[in-house]
Amino acid sequence: MVHSENQESKSLKSEILGIIAPSFPAFLDELHCKYKNLGDGAIADYIPELSKVNPDLFSICVATVDGEVYQVGDFNRLFTIQSMSKVFAYGLALEDHGRDYVLTRVGVEPTGDAFNAIILDEQSKRPYNPMVNAGAIATTSLIKGKGATERLNRMLDMYRRYVGKDVYVDMSVFTSERSTGHRNRAMAHLMLNFGMIDGHIEEALDLYFQQCAVMVSCRDLAVMAAALANKGVNPITGEQAVDSRYVKDILSVMYTCGMYNFAGEWAYKIGIPAKSGVSGGIIAVVPGKMGIAVFSPLLDSRGNSVRGVKVCEELSQKFGLHMFDCRGGSFNFGQNGCN
């Protein structure tokens, strides 16, 4: 059953959602019931700790920019953020160095290749974008700090601003990723060879593995996505999670590169900035309106949550969320070029 925070207000603020309040929770409940028995896909097992998760876990959460949170299923169950962390680490690197410098180290082009492909742009020698592993490692290596501890603390404080509470690293998952991350080490050495990252490879990789092993819930992810929808401001706490000038950079790369080698079809069918992770999460951002999060560990062949993709596709179609849908859907953007 869908739970709504701030039940006394019962407000979705029709100017934000454009629908009658009771119908939206009911629709989330229907979606959850529709797909909870879908057994397609497989759990990620290349990180040994991830293979232990219950495949039946499933939750959907939506957080609006006015602070309402609607949630159904296992919405408080903690899991590791994995590749969804790339979105937020990229924002921190942009804050630390600015977009021009970050662009000299990491590109913004979609690849059409798998997220763990060991490739760089042939001309620039940069990783293609910050949403694939090579680009994320380069991005993480840019995060400032006097030593590993300070850099980790800055990363955790960044998460705190987005989530609204302290988070922690799951040490068993971190250790598992660290001990099996030879492919990521190969990428790091390749980038070191071309001057895309500095010489402290193990320190950069440790921070990357730690950022991926941070524990979050589906609700946390919805609030994090809503902060990006809300000009970088956490809609629950009111704290600025990321400098607003970089939100468009983050969302642009999410839109074109966030769903691995499914990014083009996602943009075509669903049409909102998103990022997936191999733990089974998907975050999606409807600018100015809301953040969406889905958690289900069963993945398709591209590493995206099977149930998550289905849920986001139905939400987009039902409420006209696609950025280029000019028909005036229920979530009328108001400021886009179609209106």
260 is in an annotated binding site: yes
Identify which of 106, 99, 101 has the alpha carbon closest to the alpha carbon of residue 127: 106
Task: Respond yes or no: is residue 246 known to be catalytic.
Answer: no
193 is in an annotated binding site: no
Task: Respond yes or no: is residue 83 known to be catalytic.
Answer: yes
Task: Respond yes or no: is residue 260 known to be catalytic.
Answer: yes
The answer to whether 2 and 28 are in contact (CB under 8 A) is: yes
**Among the options 83, 85, 176, 305, which is catalytic?**
83
The answer to whether 172 and 105 are in contact (CB under 8 A) is: no
> What one-character DSSP code corresponds to residue 319?
H
Instruction: Please give the C-alpha separations between residue 240 and each of 38, 88, 297, in angstroms, as whole numbers.
Output: 38, 13, 30
The one-letter code for the residue type at 314 is: E
**Among the options 132, 247, 278, 286, which is catalytic?**
278
> What one-character DSSP code corresponds to residue 260?
G
The answer to whether 46 and 180 are in contact (CB under 8 A) is: yes
Query: What's the token pair of residue 137?
Result: 């490692």
The answer to whether 8 and 29 are in contact (CB under 8 A) is: no
83 is in an annotated binding site: yes
**Among the options 86, 128, 214, 276, which is catalytic?**
86
Length of the chain: 339
278 is in an annotated binding site: yes
**Among the options 69, 72, 260, 276, which is catalytic?**
260
177 is in an annotated binding site: yes
Residues with catalytic annotation? Answer: 83, 86, 208, 260, 278
Query: What are the binding residues for substrate?
Result: 83, 133, 177, 184, 208, 260, 278
Query: What are the binding residues?
Result: 83, 133, 177, 184, 208, 260, 278
